[in-house]
A and B are shown apart, each in its own frame.
Chain A
Amino acid sequence: DAEITQSPRHKITETGRQVTLACHQTWNHNNMFWYRQDLGHGLRLIHYSYGVQDTNKGEVSDGYSVSRSNTEDLPLTLESAASSQTSVYFCASSESWDTQYFGPGTRLTVL
């Protein structure tokens, strides 16, 4: 069955380190998204991509970057991790602008 996966599921890192969270989908969806989830804020959009080589900033993009070199993957990089980036991160994908399907999430702790 087609699916969307995220790795790692849990990550603990230190302030200032570079961290990359992986997202992989097998639906061949053009659109991929990264969100963070924090108490009191719901899910907020970090970055998104509408196709290979396309990337765009979302609502809370500072301190994050993405690159899209193929259809299946959209890795999220924290260039220099900060404690404010402790959160749960969700990747999602969709065909065209249809319903988004979410991965299982990655819990990131920055100490």
Chain B
Amino acid sequence: AQTVTQSQPEMSVQEAETVTLSCTYDTSESDYYLFWYKQPPSRQMILVIRQEAYKQQNATENRFSVNFQKAAKSFSLKISDSQLGDAAMYFCAYRSAFSGNLFFGTGTRLTVIP
């Protein structure tokens, strides 16, 4: 099975500042998808952003962007202009192009300091 590693159990950021969450993964496949999910205290899993491995351009969704380094198997999430509502657990996830199954990292808890 593919492995997804999030090496930062906890991160904090000042409101309005920028923070980057790290994620690395291990796979022998060349075609796959990567995701960042947000889990606020409500426990609901919310899709933040997705990246197709065959696309060189980094995905962007408003204040959220990724730095996808395919050769390094790295997929970091950058949150700009952090807001109090960004406080949550963030999970990185991997999906093969040939399967519907998601493999998750262990998560990073983000605290936003007012």
Contact = CB atoms under 8 A, between A and B. Distances in A.
A94 interface: yes
A30 B97 CA distance: 17
A44 interface: yes
Given A104-B44, A105-B44, A48 B50 contact: no
A94 B100 contact: yes
Interface string A7-36: 000000000000000000000000101010
Interface stretch (B11-19, B55-63, B104-112): B104-112
Contacts of B45: 43, 90, 92, 102, 105
A42 B106 contact: yes
A97 B103 CA distance: 14
A71 to B, nearest CB: 15
Contacts of B99: 97
Contact of A99 (B6, B35, B107): B35
9 contacts: A41-B106, A42-B4, A42-B6, A42-B104, A43-B45, A45-B102, A50-B100, A100-B100, A104-B42
Interface of A: 31, 33, 35, 40-45, 48, 50, 58-59, 88, 90, 92, 94, 96-97, 99-102, 104-105
Given A42-B4, A104-B44, 9 more contacts: A42-B6, A43-B93, A45-B102, A92-B45, A92-B102, A97-B99, A99-B35, A100-B102, A102-B46
Q: Ordered nearest first, which 5 A-B pairs have the shortest CB separation? A: A102-B45, A42-B104, A97-B100, A43-B104, A42-B106
